[in-house]
Amino acid sequence: MPGPHTEHLTMSHKPTHRREIRLFHRLALQFEKQPGLASVLCLLLVCVLTFSFCAPSFFSLTNFLTILRQNAAAFISATSMTLVITTGGIDLSVGAVAAFSGITMAGLATFWHVPPVFALGGALLAGTAAGTANGLLVTRVGMAPFIVTLASMSVFRGLSLLTAQGYSLPLPEGASLLEWPGRGWLGPVPVPAIILLLCVVAGSVTLHRTRFGRYVTGIGSNEEGVRRTGVNVRRVCLVVYALSGLAAALSGILMTGRLGSASSNIGVGFELDVIAAVVLGGTSLTGGYGSVIGSALGILTLACLKNGLILAHVSPFLTQIFTGLITIGAIWINMSLKGRDFFGIRKSSHGI
Amino acid sequence: MTIPHNASRSADRDHSDSASRSPAVEMRGITRRFGAVQALRGVNLSLARGEVLGLLGDNGAGKSTLTKILSGALTPGSGEIMIDGQSRHFSSPRDAQEAGVHMVYQDLSLCGSIDVAGNLFMGREPIRHVFGLPLLDTKTMHTRAREMLQGLGVVIRDTYARVDGLSGGQRQAIAIARAAAFSPRVLILDEPTAALAVMEVEAVLSLITKLRDQGVTIILITHRLQDLFHVCDRIAVIRDGVVAAERRIGDTTIGELVDLIVGERFHARSAH
């Protein structure tokens, strides 16, 4: 089957294109475009199958919903992190911003007796403001995203500790709305599972089906080229970082709600887990290509791994080691898959 | 490959009489200084509508400064730019594009990880509304991308293919097609045939011819002197920041052009 890449530029006027591309061809192209998706899916299947045999309680709806509830915050932040990384940036401050937003919410409700709805809104606003501050430093001042967000991680963690004076702030009695996103149920479905699903779908549609998402990908691939076509590159990047802050706030609300109290120490190391899952899902750390579905599968894989190892009575100390090794292995596979076609044959490279 | 005669070209598409009488581009006394270096010392150059001008000059002669000024990426120190008889001041590439001046950079400005149609429509993607949400209309994008490429005689069968999997000539064709889609009056091409295979050079040259036949005024920067004789009407040689010579293509030879670029009789004739 002649692939799309063997065509040469010719000037003849023979009938040019096939009206429809055959399904198989499209599938192969999809695989070429998303090599990470295939490998993370395989890894997830291997995890699920292994643990289903090793740990009898693993393969059940209850356990699946537990995994979703426990990791909803990670799913949400992984979605926005995918956008950030696709532009070629990084956001290390999501864990600290999550804690800061949780503290803001509890502080507003406890100290200032703000109605729960406004406390929730205040938390989301705080996160968005934090993300916007990151974005302004990156786009207006031109600082490297790694440095900006590393510094703001420190600032927001410190602000949380300062506000709460190192204590955790219990959510006030009778303000069940604050706990609802993190531990509520809608019939048989946990609320955090619904929120994470909405976030992942919205993120995926945004990245792959909107102009904004197109520019996010384009900026990661060739920022100057996108700028020359008249796109406001700075604004797109600013919005991406603001969204990352908003998503971090939502993550913080979910974590706080699940625990029933806001702690300045939630989400320590959270950003690194999220970044690992995003890269595991096939998103290019250098930008230009991202998959929100891949990131969600990445989080799900790491979550299943942790959950399964615990249920299989493996030492919790081993869990971290396994997680790290499997991340390295998966990314290794991704790298060797890249630049190969559906049949694993290395494509000729034209470089870019 | 046949090149149509000047007379057979469609003269004008959408311009008033006054516009068609005045030159498509006229640059008068353009200067530009970078610190201590006087890159341009008063360039005078004019192009008729539908003319293809080959812009020659050694590295550092000032040809890229001149094209950047014309495309709005740089502002001139002094001098005047007239497009279709109207004086223009470009402070950004956007201004130049609104006046109909487009430039295809040597690095092409394409996004490797995005497909052919996505690159052709970058920055002006068609939108359809689904439940009130503005989503990319990828179907229209691919259909129109195929039409655009076909209309220019470029054969890239699969508009779903990622650009980083395409050959240099195909990428060049996409970059030119993208600029052509804006219906430019003036198109500046920076080294479009550098590093291309022989077949691909032919294809890009006939793409240039095709655009010229549509009435586009083209400035072609190239180091491949033999290409100029296939597509250009006229050659301008920039040396030391001024137009050192202008020649009708029929009145010159590669040997003479080499002498003009270097600025002296050159006996080795490396370009032969």
Question: What is the distance between the alpha carbons of residues B224 and B271, in angstroms, rounded to a whole number?
Answer: 9
Q: Find out whether A98 and A255 touch, Cβ atoms under 8 Å.
A: yes
Given the structure tokens 């207006």, which residue do they identify? A140
Closest by CA to A130, choosing from A168, A104, A166, is A104
pLDDT in tens, B172-229: 889 999 988 888 899 999 988 887 888 888 888 988 999 999 889 999 998 888 888 8
ipTM score here? Answer: 0.80
Segment of A240-249, A306-315, A337-346, B256-265 carrying the highest mean pLDDT: A240-249
Q: Roughly what angle, to the nearest 10 degrees, separates helices A61-86 and A292-311? A: 140
> Which residues of chain B neighbour A225 with C-beta distances below 8 Å?
107-111, 122
Given the structure tokens 């109290």, which residue do they identify? A261
Q: Considering only alpha carbons, which residue of chain A is nearest residue B128?
A: A210
Q: Which amino acid is at A210?
A: T
Task: Report chain B's mean pLDDT, rounded to a whole number.
Answer: 84
* CATH 1.10.3470 for the A58-337 domain, yes or no: yes
Q: Find out whether A39 and A217 touch, Cβ atoms under 8 Å.
A: no
Sequence-distant (6+) residues with CB within 8 A of A165 are: none
Lowest mean pLDDT among A155-159, A179-183, B19-23: B19-23
Give me the phi and psi of B224, to 5 degrees please: -90, 95
Q: Considering only alpha carbons, which residue of chain A is nearest residue B170?
A: A9
Q: Find out whether B116 and B178 touch, Cβ atoms under 8 Å.
A: no
Q: Is residue A91 exposed (0-12), middle (13-18) or buried (19+ Cβ within 10 Å)? A: buried
Closest by CA to B118, choosing from A36, A6, A211, is A211
Minimum distance, in Å, between the CA of residue A33 and any CA atom of chain B: 8
> Which residues of chain B neighbour A221 with C-beta distances below 8 Å?
111-114
Closest by CA to B114, choosing from B71, B178, B169, is B178
Q: Is residue A248 exposed (0-12), middle (13-18) or buried (19+ Cβ within 10 Å)? A: buried
Which residues between 132 and 191 in chain B have a beta carbon less than 8 angstroms from any beta carbon of chain A?
Answer: 133-136, 138, 146, 150, 153-170, 173
Minimum distance, in Å, between the CA of residue B129 and any CA atom of chain A: 11
Minimum distance, in Å, between the CA of residue A203 and any CA atom of chain B: 13
Minimum distance, in Å, between the CA of residue B4 and any CA atom of chain A: 16
Sequence length of chain B is: 272
Query: What separation in angstroms does the CA of B49 have from each of B15, B207, B226, B243?
Result: 11, 18, 23, 20
Q: What is the CATH number of domain B34-262?
A: 3.40.50.300
Q: Where are the domains of chain B?
A: 34-262
Q: Please name every residue paired with B83 in a beta bridge, in sequence order, or none if there are none.
A: B25, B86
- A34-56 burial code (b ≥16 CB/10 A, e <16): bbbbbbbbebbeebbeebeeebe
Which residues between 87 and 116 in chain B have a beta carbon less than 8 angstroms from any beta carbon of chain A?
Answer: 93-94, 97, 105, 107-114
Instruction: Give the one of B94, B113, B204 whose C-beta lies nearest to A221's C-beta.
Output: B113
pLDDT in tens, A222-244: 998 998 888 899 999 999 999 99
Task: Tell me the three state secondary structure of residue A80.
Answer: helix
Contacts 24+ apart (CB under 8 A), A47-50: A47/A301, A47/A304, A47/A305, A47/A308, A48/A304, A50/A308
Q: What is the pLDDT of residue A9?
A: 44
- B73-87 burial code (b ≥16 CB/10 A, e <16): bbebbebebbbbeee
> Which residues of chain B neighbour A350 with C-beta distances below 8 Å?
164-168
The answer, yes or no, to whether residue A21 has pLDDT greater than 70, is: no
The answer, yes or no, to whether residue A308 has pLDDT greater than 70, is: yes
Q: How confident is the model at residue B57 (pLDDT cuts 50, 70, 90)?
A: confident
| Contact at CB, B170 and A7, closer than 8 angstroms | yes
Q: What is the pLDDT of residue A26?
A: 63
